[in-house]
Amino acid sequence: MTQNHFIPFARPWIGDDEISAVSEVLASKWISTGPKTAEFERRFAEYVGAKHALAVSSCTAALHLSLVAAGIGEGDEVITTPYTFTATSEAIGYTGAKPVFVDIDPITLNIDVDKISEKLTPRTKAILPVHIAGAPCDMDALIDICEARNLVLIDDAAHAIPTDYKGRRIGSIGDLSVFSFYANKNLTTAEGGMITTNSDDYAKIIKPMRLHGLNKDSWARQSNRSVWYYQVESQGYKYNMADTQAAMGLCQLMKLNKQIEVRRKYIQIYQERLGKIPEIVTPPGETHYCHSWHLYIIQLRTDQLKISRDEFVEAMRDANIECSVHYIPLHLFPYYQERYGYREGDFPCAEAAFERVVSLPLHLDLTAQDIHTVVDTISEILS
Ligand SMILES: Cc1ncc(COP(=O)(O)O)c(C=O)c1O
């Protein structure tokens, strides 16, 4: 069954334009935060339709700064999902607050908004949903809960560039939205992240906080006479983005719509062909939203199969096709059990999904023929 060439799970889409843009920044000798970062922020804000975009060193940093800006601290609780990468919840832990997990919807894999109210307490200060794979959460319901209880809505949009919800782009809806530009994301700067917000107040707090609480970033300092002068006005962090990263981000942003077009073409093949295999549940198609298709996650009907999900992933690997699994629910990790007292069995939908999910290869280094090969191989394994 092994086909000739290896089909990797993910690859960044890097071309000569990124290489020359980064080389130009290197040649300019201004390589850290500067004019490219400012331009990237302007264009990113425009792209998602937000008033402010603040570039940072990672989405984890973006989560941390957003939580701090929202006033989250020791003794507070933040409602979130156990079905995510540890960074989402880890950042809540940085502040001393507790991540209060709410189980997921078994089909969308996003937080089940109907189960949030039973977890609200007087200590709840914010809701931190994750748009898994790039499919938006039920933002209307989340906004209603937040407005009724005076909570801050910080959405983890690490996968959601570009995702539209009822005609509005993710990044322009929540109080604060955070994006990841990690190597495998739709838009990558190798490492990097962005916070978007329509609030002048949040932007004003976050801007200095990402660079040690200084009152001007170093490029602005360099541009006026008082080169050496700065003030420290608040608790800060070392979370700024470098111009080398921003230069790459600008190129990636310009190519993003083209990239999504190709992803959609591949998704159409996956959806049409895999939708006909009874042992597979394909992700829901787009209805009131546009998916970023960062990940393509199928669910195996393991009750109808002779092999487990792990055996399926192994069989794909033996056939030279790399798959992944998103996610191991956080409450199953020793750290979350020891620090917060979570236990296996606490979130049955997340656990059931974890046993069934497989993320299939999806990136721009693949051809349509590769996608057909993935489907052919799946059909062979399942038969
Ligand atoms: C849902 C989610 N949130 C946050 C992060 C953290 O992103 P970063 O690596 O940019 O800090 C990731 C990373 O993959 C993620 O998948």
> Do 256-382 and 16-253 fall under one CATH topology?
no
Q: Where are the domains of the chain?
A: 16-253, 256-382
pLDDT digits (tens, 9 = 90+) for 65-97: 999 999 999 999 999 999 999 999 999 999 999
pLDDT of residue 229: 83
pLDDT of residue 287: 87
pLDDT of residue 231: 87
Say how far apart CA 244 and CA 137 lie, in whole Å.
33
pLDDT of residue 2: 55
**pLDDT (tens place) for every residue of the chain, 383 residues total:** 556 799 999 999 999 999 999 999 999 999 999 999 999 999 999 999 999 999 999 999 999 999 999 999 999 999 999 999 999 999 999 999 999 999 999 999 999 999 999 999 999 999 999 999 999 999 999 999 999 999 999 999 999 999 999 999 999 999 999 999 999 999 999 999 999 999 999 999 999 999 999 977 666 666 665 678 888 989 999 999 999 999 999 999 999 999 999 999 999 999 999 999 999 999 998 889 999 999 999 999 999 999 999 999 999 999 999 999 999 999 999 999 999 999 999 999 999 999 999 999 999 999 999 999 999 999 999 99
Fold that domain 256-382 belongs to in CATH: Aspartate Aminotransferase, domain 1 (3.90.1150)
Would you say the CB of residue 58 lies under 6 angstroms from ligand 1? yes
Q: Looking at domain 16-253, does it have CATH number 3.40.640.10?
A: yes
* Protein residue with its CA nearest to atom 16 in ligand 1: 85
CA of 58 to the centre of ligand 1 (A): 8
Report which ligand 1 atom has the smallest distance to the Cα of 181.
Answer: 10
Mutate which of 59, 86, 178 for ligand 1? The one with the most ligand atoms within 8 Å of its CB, which is 59
Please name the residue ranges forming H helices in 96-217. 139-149, 200-209
Whole-model pTM over 0.85: yes
Give me the catalytic one of 98, 125, 185, 207: 185
Known catalytic membership, residue 185: yes
* Protein residue with its CA nearest to atom 7 in ligand 1: 59
pLDDT of residue 218: 61
Say how far apart CA 52 and CA 154 lie, in whole Å.
15
Say how far apart CA 234 and CA 256 lie, in whole Å.
36
Convert 189-225 to b/e letters by CB count within 10 Å (16 or more is b). Answer: bbbbbbbbbbbeebbebbbbbbbbebebbbbeeeeee
pLDDT digits (tens, 9 = 90+) for 193-212: 999 999 999 999 999 999 99
Would you say the CB of residue 85 lies under 6 angstroms from ligand 1? yes
